[in-house]
Structures are given as structure tokens and as C-alpha cells.
A and B are shown apart, each in its own frame.
Chain A
């Protein structure tokens, strides 16, 4: 074989090898095949981020795989809310777990989505360095605190605490950081505190350098952070599929509330197969104490959302007064309220 043919053959062989390896090791064939099914049979793609706020999503996916009806939807993990926002707008995902202020802001900017369910209650905390100079929230004057996004309840809880202590907005510097960066930044003294959802406070606590200054429930009794939104065209064209989705999420919430052993099992399979986080970390976040994060009741309530909307307008991230009915669809949560928890025992291979 002359050199030119040999090089050509090598190139073709290399291309075939890496394509084959990629197709075998990386490609999620379920979602590829899903794109070619007719629209009525296509499964939803649901977006989530590796936080305990969104735990119901991977739990539903895992348990539903064992049930007779099979997988309810295709989960897709993202690393940040801007990417989820863009995927929602361009219909690459049909449903997503996002923070409540972002859902309200997107709806007020004309994105056709509706909130159908909540992610969880509680589960956010403000964390400072363990041996640092900050002993109470009043010491935060003149300091820097990291928040996940300007559209987040974690930012609003800081404002509520500031109101309780009489601190003016200009006296605390807020920086938007992506959640995985904050633990390292706190340890390295780059920030003085952070306000994030689980498991990032737990991560700082377990690593030994963080101390929870206050949990979200101390300044906001019915704190809720993340919500499940679905695109309007899905609600209009396939309401039964949306109902199946909400039912699944509701049943997972009830399953997680059944007891400690179920939560530990969830920490195990979610940490290993979905979040790529240490199961011990998720176990700590879910069981230490058991009410650090609760997954019930998760039906959207007007009072909660009006509070979020008013806080958003007060702090300047929303300029249009939008009503509860415009962005929430309660039908699915109402029908899901009669559902019971999944009948799935940890380690078994059947679920109902």
C-alpha cells in the first residue's frame, strides 16, 4: 500500500474507532430515539441541576424504571440555570426544575411556561466560615455574600434577613457565583458568606470550614425555592402526559417523606447515577436533621408566590405585577393530591 493510501486508511480507521467508542460509551440512545418518535408518543425531557431541590426528578426517573408503565420522562442534567432557560425557550426541554423567581421573571418577559408543582420546601441556608469573624447576621455589614443568581429565593432570604436586622441594601455586597464554586471560595476567604441551596451548605459543613449562620426557615416559615415548570404548548397539546409527570413527582415526594432509610437509599442512587456527587454528602443533606429538606406539601400556593413576587418587585428584579393565575396551572397539582407514595423498597426491583 503506498503511503498516501496508508495515511487515508489510518484516518478512516481512527474516525471509525472514536465514533464507535463515542456511540457505545457516551450516547444516550433513549433520547436520540425519542426525537424520532411521533409527537404524541414522544417522552418529555425534564431538565434539572444537581441540587437536592430537584431530587424528586432523578428519584422519579429511577423508581419509575422499575414500574410497569416504565420510564415516565427523560431526565437531562444541566450545570446552571441560564442553560436551562435557553433550552426551555428553544423547546429542547419541555419541562424543567428552576427557581421560582426565575419562573416568574421568564413568564413576565413572555416565555410561554406555567408552574405546575414545587421542588421542595426549605433546604437553603446562609453559611459562614466556622472560625470567622461573623457571629450573627448583623456582622455581615460591609461583607460579601455569594448568591446563585439574582433570580433566586436565596437572594430574597438574604433581603428578608437584612430587613429583620435593619441593614440597608448598599451595606452588603452580593456576587452571583455558580454553586459549585462557593465552597472553595469561602475556604479561600474570597467571600465572607454564601446563601445557597443544599447540598452546598452541607458540603461546607462536612469539609469542616463552614458553619450554618441560619436556615431559610428562620426568616421565611414556608420557604420554597425551586418549582417545576412546563411549556404551555405541552400543557395544551398533551395534558395527560403532564399529569403523569406531576403524579410521578408527587409520588416521589411522598416516598422521600416515608422515612430515613428511603432518603438514604435515594442519596445512594442519586449520588452515584445522576448527580455524580458523594452519596455521603447527599445523605448528610437529606437526613441531618430529617427536616432540613422536606418534600411535602408541594402544591403551589398563592400566598407563597405572591410573597416571592412582591419581594422581587421590592428588590428590583421584577417590574411588572404579574398575577398568580397567569403563571401557575393548579389543575395538575389538584389531581396529584390524591396520589400515594411509590411502593418501592430500597434494593428491590419492582415498584408500583
Chain B
């Protein structure tokens, strides 16, 4: 099969769906053959999801988690993109700050939980802080690299036109670095959504991460645990698909022209 062949109408839904169904079949058969008393089969998980819908919790939990991610992520974008731009524009500043960033970056949000409880108490603020931490560093690093990858020809051309540094950044460097920044934002959103389970371990009482921890704590409800995992995955897929639409906007489409 030639990989440059355009997919037929409907084919883009058929094959992924078939792969998902195959995966579900393998899962169901493994549960049956191994005779496990704990791990749920796809039908148990589907019953668990129906129970969540019945109790009116499904939409509420998804909305609560999305709200927390939105809060932490937007603060990270508002702070991270300017910081990254500045660090990319002034290499001396990057040289000074970089070791600190690289030290803080690998610290998992779960390791931040005790400290965030002491700073923000138990509740939404601590969870939003953890999500902010998780998404801040990827955004800063991506913006920094995006500015550094802007061809110096653009900068010199802008200076030829007599632009001040502020105008240069606003009118030339920022639009030129936007595609790479968008890629960094997409990755950071994925990380933020991934961290939502850890963030909701801090005595929160709603949300998909809370559902995972709570179902585990209430005895043997592993069907709800796996149901929550699948919901987290599906919502992450939806978020990512939405983000890819942004890449098709006119102001950044030029940056992705080499993608197949």
C-alpha cells in the first residue's frame, strides 16, 4: 500500500475503530483466560460507566477536571509564553536562569503535593497549582527554543526597516515563533491533563482523578478505576484533536507546511 494514497471517505474512521475493537476483544479474552478476580472486563467497565451516568456523576466529574486543568493551564500560558520569549530573546538571561529551570523541571507534581498542601491548603487552589507547575516548564522551554529558531535573517530585515526591539519582538519574532509555540502548548496541555490524577489526590472531592483514587479506596471497585482511566484517555484525545484544529489557522498554517 502506498503511504501517500489519500484515505477514502469514511476510511479515516473505519481503521482506527477496527483497531480499538480489536484491542477490546484482546482485553476481554485476557480477562476471561487469566481468571482474574480483580481486573475488570470491558463489560464490567461499561456497567461502571452506566452507573456513573445513572448517579449523575460522569458529566460533573469531567467538567470539574476540565475546569481545574483550564485554570492551571491558562495561568501557565499567560506566564510561560512571555517568560520563554524573553529568555529566548536575551541569551544571557537564558544562560543564567537555565540551570534553575532544568532543576525544577523534572520534579514530578506528585512530589510537590506535600508542599502545595502547606502553601495552598486542601482544595482547588492546590490542584490548580500542581497543574500550573506541570504545564509551565514545557511552555517556557518550547517558547525559548522557538525564539532561538527564528532565522536571524528575519531579525536583520526587521532592523533594516528601523523597528525598535519591542516592535521587533511583537511584529516579527512572535509571529515567526508561533508554530513552535503552538506545538509546545499542545504538548503542555497533554502533560497538564496527565497530571490531573495526581493533582486530584489532595483531598479533592470531585473530578476524574478523584474518581480513580476514590474507587480504589472504596474496596474492590476496579471497574470504576478503569472506567475513569478510559474517560481520562478519551477526554485527552478530544483535547488533542481540538488543538490540532488550531494548527490549521491561517496565522500558523505556514509553519506546518512540511508535514505530510
Q: How far, in whole Å, are A90 and B120 apart by their CA atoms in the complex?
A: 37
What's the least CB distance linking A205 to chain B, in Å?
19
Determine whether A40 belongs to the interface, using a CB cutoff of 8 Å to chain B: no
Told that A109-B220, A151-B217, A185-B122 touch, could you supply 16 new A-B pairs with CB distance under 8 A?
Answer: A82-B216, A85-B219, A86-B216, A89-B37, A105-B219, A109-B219, A146-B203, A151-B219, A176-B203, A176-B217, A184-B117, A184-B118, A185-B121, A187-B118, A190-B120, A191-B122
Q: Give me the interface of A with B, judged by CB distance under 8 Å.
A: 82, 85-86, 89-90, 105-106, 109-111, 144, 146, 149-151, 175-177, 180-181, 184-185, 187-191
Inter-subunit contact B121/A188 (CB<8 Å): yes
With A89-B37, A89-B38, A175-B203 as known contacts, state yes or no: A189 contacts B121, CB within 8 Å: yes
1/0 per position for B181-208, CB-CB distance to A under 8 A?
0000000000000000000000101000
With A90-B38, A175-B203, A177-B203 as known contacts, state yes or no: A185 contacts B117, CB within 8 Å: yes
What's the least CB distance linking B10 to chain A, in Å?
43
Determine whether B218 belongs to the interface, using a CB cutoff of 8 Å to chain A: yes
Inter-subunit contact A190/B219 (CB<8 Å): no
Closest to A190 in B: B121
What's the least CB distance linking A133 to chain B, in Å?
16
Main secondary structure of the interface of A (DSSP, over half): mixed
Inter-subunit contact A149/B119 (CB<8 Å): no
Closest to A112 in B: B37
1/0 per position for B113-147, CB-CB distance to A under 8 A?
11001111110000000000000000000000000
Q: How far, in whole Å, are A111 and B113 apart by their CA atoms in the complex?
A: 32
Inter-subunit contact B118/A190 (CB<8 Å): yes
With A175-B122, A176-B203 as known contacts, state yes or no: A181 contacts B117, CB within 8 Å: yes
What's the least CB distance linking B33 to chain A, in Å?
17
The interface size of chain B toward A, counting residues with CB under 8 Å, comes to: 17
| Chain A residue contacts of B113, Cβ below 8 A | 181
Q: Which of B21-43 contact A (CB under 8 A)?
A: 37-38
Inter-subunit contact B119/A188 (CB<8 Å): yes
With A177-B203, A188-B119 as known contacts, state yes or no: A89 contacts B220, CB within 8 Å: yes
19 contacts across the A-B interface (CB closer than 8 A): A82-B217, A85-B219, A86-B216, A90-B38, A105-B218, A110-B220, A144-B122, A150-B217, A150-B218, A175-B122, A177-B203, A185-B121, A185-B122, A188-B117, A188-B121, A190-B118, A190-B122, A191-B121, A191-B122
Closest to B113 in A: A181
Closest to A144 in B: B122
Q: How far, in whole Å, are A86 and B38 apart by their CA atoms in the complex?
A: 9
Closest to B205 in A: A175
Closest to A85 in B: B219
Q: How far, in whole Å, are A184 and B118 apart by their CA atoms in the complex?
A: 6
Q: How far, in whole Å, are A280 and B180 apart by their CA atoms in the complex?
A: 56
What's the least CB distance linking A49 to chain B, in Å?
15
| Chain A residue contacts of B218, Cβ below 8 A | 105, 150
Among A144, A149, A181, A191, the one with the most B-chain Cβ atoms within 10 Å of its Cβ is: A181
Q: How far, in whole Å, are A176 and B210 apart by their CA atoms in the complex?
A: 11
| Chain A residue contacts of B219, Cβ below 8 A | 85, 105-106, 109, 151
What's the least CB distance linking B215 to chain A, in Å?
10
Closest to B221 in A: A109
What's the least CB distance linking A106 to chain B, in Å?
6
Closest to B217 in A: A82
| Chain B residue contacts of A110, Cβ below 8 A | 220
| Chain B residue contacts of A149, Cβ below 8 A | 217
